[in-house]
């Protein structure tokens, strides 16, 4: 009986596309899905060059695989992953590897690693980014976990991943659930950049009165230069998409309530849990929540309907400044996410190689951008850099753009155009680059009302004062 190199469980669009990508690269692969229709679709869509087999039962699937078995799961995060593991683990043998390629929560992965290790099985969490198209043609792949198991699947991952030059957009992200963690933070940054782009859009649309054709041109120009990135590129294209149901553009017909599947929220919760400041990511998460209050927003906009937007004096200059502000605020969002990875790596002993993270994010993933080349150089110089804002070369970019960020934030604030992402990126930068923050006063207040103690600037130790109450 012919045995297959890999197995894929979950033949939805992502699973099927990843499976075909693996098959295109010369690996044989069997697929399984509880939905027989999907198994049939898999067979029907395979080309004659591919060595692909659809299986109808878990037993047939498992026995079709070469040992040690290498099984990829592409099923929704949460209970479905546990359900698959429950049915498949009794059929597996010592040394088999199960790789979860979904957006699983990293703590779930840690639990599953331990559960499967007790059965002499390897479990790996692996982030995959690039959407449906990326899965088919080359995603960015973030595997973590057992190093020995990783080496067994490394040649396949390098073959199927996106490439920048001849460098594969995949690398070992560290121990345990590091792969899921890195993907979670990738998504947190994704939320922040999408929020910032939407604010730039609003500023150009309501501030400078640009129509969709003009917005298309601006984003096209941005994408052709230093802002070249996947998210700017797709935004450019969105402004060109005509609506099939009306005469206008589709973007103008889309309801302004943003959805979310949870990875952004996890990133914020994590940052709070381990004490890392990522305000632009936090605000991007909460902005999506706020967007859902549509009815209240309509009511409030009528109650406070007095906003008059002053046109910028020089539209061309305004567009340039909004572009620079977006570029810098995006850079600051990456800085926050990467700083979270630095701390998480310490906290959970992941040993995340930051240099490899930015290297493999340069292609295939949703947050790919030419800016990542600069981060890659920064981490090449100093792999232990705690924050990319501390890199000399990065500081030159920041100094060049900071005025535009301030002017854009000021324009938005004075004209009542909500710009939570832009404001927090600037606020983060200002706080991070301030030698003496006013929190000495917060410490005094805490000690005043709660005897929480404070430290001094001029001597070591912990102090408490019986604060005087003023008489008058």
Q: How far is the CB of 263 from ligand 6PG (least distance, A)?
A: 5
Applying CB under 6 A, what is the total number of residues that bind ligand 6PG?
13
What SS3 state is found at 140? strand
Q: Mask: binding to ligand 6PG, 17-36, rule CB under 6 A, as x and -?
A: --------------------
Catalytic residue among 53, 175, 183, 374: 183
Would you list the DSSP string of 411-436? HHHHTT---HHHHHHHHHHHHHT-SS
Q: Are 170 and 359 in contact (CB under 8 A)?
A: no
Q: With binding defined as CB under 6 A, does residue 366 bind ligand 6PG?
A: yes
Q: How far is the CB of 264 from ligand 6PG (least distance, A)?
A: 6
Q: How far apart are CA 391 and CA 116, in angstroms?
A: 42
Q: Mask: binding to ligand 6PG, 95-134, rule CB under 6 A, as x and -?
A: --------x-------------------------xxx---
Residue 189 or 398 having the CB closest to ligand 6PG: 189
Residue in the block written with tokens 């390629």: 101
**Residues in 257-276 that interact with ligand 6PG by CB under 6 A:** 259-261, 263-264
Residue 55 or 268 having the CB closest to ligand 6PG: 268
Q: With binding defined as CB under 6 A, does residue 190 bind ligand 6PG?
A: yes
Q: How far is the CB of 125 from ligand 6PG (least distance, A)?
A: 14
Catalytic residue among 190, 199, 233, 321: 190
Residue 207 or 421 having the CB closest to ligand 6PG: 421
Residue 53 or 359 having the CB closest to ligand 6PG: 359
Residue 254 or 413 having the CB closest to ligand 6PG: 254
Alpha helices by DSSP H, listed for 161-262, are 178-202, 212-223, 230-238
User: Measured at the alpha carbon of residue 451, what is the angle toward residues 445 and 454, in degrees to the nearest 5?
Assistant: 65
Q: Are 258 and 421 in contact (CB under 8 A)?
A: no
Q: Are 162 and 363 in contact (CB under 8 A)?
A: yes
Residue in the block written with tokens 């240099």: 355
* 66 is annotated as an active-site residue: no
- What does each C-alpha distance from 393 to 339, 376, 400 come to in angstroms? 17, 12, 11
Q: How far is the CB of 362 from ligand 6PG (least distance, A)?
A: 14
* 59 is annotated as an active-site residue: no
In the chain, what is the straight-line distance between the N-terminal and C-terminal CA atoms, in Å?
94
Residue among 334, 414, 418, 431 at smallest CA distance from 374: 334
- What does each C-alpha distance from 465 to 148, 263, 469 come to in angstroms? 57, 44, 12
Q: How far apart are CA 82 and CA 234, in angstroms?
A: 35
Q: With binding defined as CB under 6 A, does residue 403 bind ligand 6PG?
A: no
Residue 52 or 285 having the CB closest to ligand 6PG: 285
Q: Mask: binding to ligand 6PG, 36-75, rule CB under 6 A, as x and -?
A: ----------------------------------------
Task: Kindly list the residues in this chain that would bind ligand 6PG in the complex (CB under 6 A).
Answer: 103, 129-131, 187, 190, 259-261, 263-264, 365-366
Q: Which residue numbers are catalytic?
A: 183, 190
């Amino acid at each position: 009986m012919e045995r297959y190199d890999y197995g894929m469980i979950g033949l939805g669009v992502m699973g099927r596309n990843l499976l075909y990508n693996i098959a295109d690269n010369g690996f044989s692969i069997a697929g399984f899905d509880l939905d027989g229709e999907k198994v049939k679709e898999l067979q029907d869509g395979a080309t004659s060059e591919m060595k692909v087999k659809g299986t109808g039962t878990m037993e047939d699937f498992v026995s079709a695989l070469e040992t040690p078995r290498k099984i990829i799961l592409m099923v929704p995060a949460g209970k479905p992953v546990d359900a698959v593991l429950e049915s498949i683990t009794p059929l597996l043998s010592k040394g088999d590897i199960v790789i979860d390629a979904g957006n699983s929560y990293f703590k779930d992965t840690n639990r599953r690693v331990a559960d499967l290790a007790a059965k002499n099985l390897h479990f790996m969490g692996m982030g995959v980014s690039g959407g449906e198209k990326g899965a088919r043609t080359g995603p960015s792949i973030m595997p973590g976990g057992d190093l020995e198991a990783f080496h067994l699947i490394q040649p396949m991952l390098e073959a199927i991943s996106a490439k920048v030059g001849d460098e594969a957009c995949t690398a070992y992200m560290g121990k345990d659930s590091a792969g899921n963690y890195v993907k979670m933070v990738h998504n947190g940054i994704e939320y922040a950049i999408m929020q910032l782009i939407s604010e730039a859009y609003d500023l150009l649309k309501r501030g400078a009165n640009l129509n969709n054709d003009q917005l298309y041109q601006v984003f096209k120009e941005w994408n052709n230069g230093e802002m070249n990135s996947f998210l700017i590129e797709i935004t450019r294209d969105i402004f060109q998409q005509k609506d099939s149901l009306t005469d206008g553009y589709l973007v103008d017909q889309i309801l302004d309530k943003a959805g979310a599947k949870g990875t952004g929220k996890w990133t914020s919760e994590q940052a709070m849990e381990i004490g890392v400041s990522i305000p632009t990511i936090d605000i991007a998460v909460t902005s999506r929540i706020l967007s859902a209050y549509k009815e209240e927003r309509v009511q409030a906009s009528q109650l406070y309907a007095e906003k008059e937007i002053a046109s910028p004096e020089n539209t061309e200059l305004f567009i340039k400044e909004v572009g620079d502000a977006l570029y810098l605020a995006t850079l600051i969002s990456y800085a926050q996410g990467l700083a979270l990875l630095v701390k998480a790596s310490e906290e959970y002993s992941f040993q995340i190689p930051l240099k490899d993270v930015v290297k493999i994010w340069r292609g295939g993933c949703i947050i790919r951008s030419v800016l990542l080349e600069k981060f890659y150089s920064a981490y090449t110089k100093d792999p232990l850099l705690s924050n990319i804002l501390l890199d000399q070369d990065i500081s030159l970019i920041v100094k060049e753009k900071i005025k535009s960020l301030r002017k854009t934030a000021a324009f938005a604030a004075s004209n009542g155009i909500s710009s939570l992402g832009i404001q927090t990126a600037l606020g983060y930068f200002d706080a991070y680059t301030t030698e003496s923050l006013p929190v000495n006063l917060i410490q005094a207040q805490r000690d005043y009302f709660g005897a929480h103690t404070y430290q001094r600037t001029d001597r070591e130790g912990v102090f408490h004062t019986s604060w005087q109450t003023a008489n008058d």
